[in-house]
Amino acid sequence: MNIILLGPPGAGKGTQAGFLVEERGMVQLSTGDMLREAKASGSEMGKRVAAIMDAGELVTDEIVIGLIREKLQGTKSAGFIFDGFPRTLKQADALGELLDEMGQSLDAVIELRVNDEALVGRIVGRAEAAVAAGDKPRADDNAESLKKRLMEYYKQTSPLIGYYYAKGMYSRVDGMASMDEVKAALAAKLDG
C-alpha cells in the first residue's frame, strides 16, 4: 500500500509517518529529510539547495523528482509513505509515472487538516524542544521562513487536493486532534 500524507508544515506528517513505519513496516520517503542530508553532507546539490530551504522556498521539481526516483528504484518495500512529496502538480504527475513504471500504484492520499495559528505554535514548539534537548533547531523553523513555507503550501501544494480528489484518492483526517486520535483515524482509513 502506497500513500501520500498531505498537509502544511507542522501538520504532523513526519510524526504519523514514523508510527506507520514502526507499526506496519512501511518505508517513509521524506524529500525534506533527503534534502537536509544532502545539505549536511556538503555535496554540490546540498550547497545549491541550502539557501532555498532556509528561506522556506521550494527546491526545483527536477531535484526532488530525481531524489525520489533514486530512492524508489533502490528500495524494496511493501508500502511507501510519501511525506512532503509531491508538493507541486508536476511532482504529482512524475510520481504517478514513476509508480506506473514500477508496476505499482498509489492507494490513498490523506490530508492532515490543521489551522494556521496552531501551526505557528507547533513549529515554534519544535524549535524550542530542539534547543531544550541540546540540538540545533531546523534552520527553517523560524517565523519568517514559516510564513514563506505556508504561502508555498497554499499556492503550490494545496491544488493537489483537487487533483487527487478528481482521481478518487483523496480523504482527510482532523490533524488538530491528539496524536493518538490522528493515528487511530489514519489506521481506520488504511484498514477500512
Binding site for ligand AMP (CB under 6 A): 9, 31-32, 35, 52-53, 56-59, 64, 84-85, 87, 91, 140, 149
Q: How far is the CB of 6 from ligand AMP (least distance, A)?
A: 11
User: Is 149 a residue of the active site?
Assistant: yes
Q: How far is the CB of 79 from ligand AMP (least distance, A)?
A: 19
Q: How far is the CB of 191 from ligand AMP (least distance, A)?
A: 26
Rounded to whole angstroms, the Cα distance separating 183 from 18 reads 10
User: Is 172 a residue of the active site?
Assistant: no
Q: How far is the CB of 57 from ligand AMP (least distance, A)?
A: 6
Catalytic residue (choose from 126, 148, 172, 189): 126
Measured CA distances, 110 to 4, 22, 64, 76 (Å) = 6, 19, 21, 23
User: Is 13 a residue of the active site?
Assistant: yes
Catalytic residue (choose from 36, 87, 122, 183): 87
User: Is 24 a residue of the active site?
Assistant: no
The pairing of strands 108-113 and 80-83 is unpaired
Please give the grid coordinates belonging to residue 25.
513496516
Rounded to whole angstroms, the Cα distance separating 178 from 76 reads 32
Strand partners, 29: 82
Residues 6+ apart with CB under 8 A from 80: 2, 3, 26, 27, 28, 29, 72
Residue 52 or residue 177: which is nearer to ligand AMP going by CB? 52
Residue 26 or residue 152: which is nearer to ligand AMP going by CB? 152
List the catalytic residues: 13, 87, 126, 138, 149
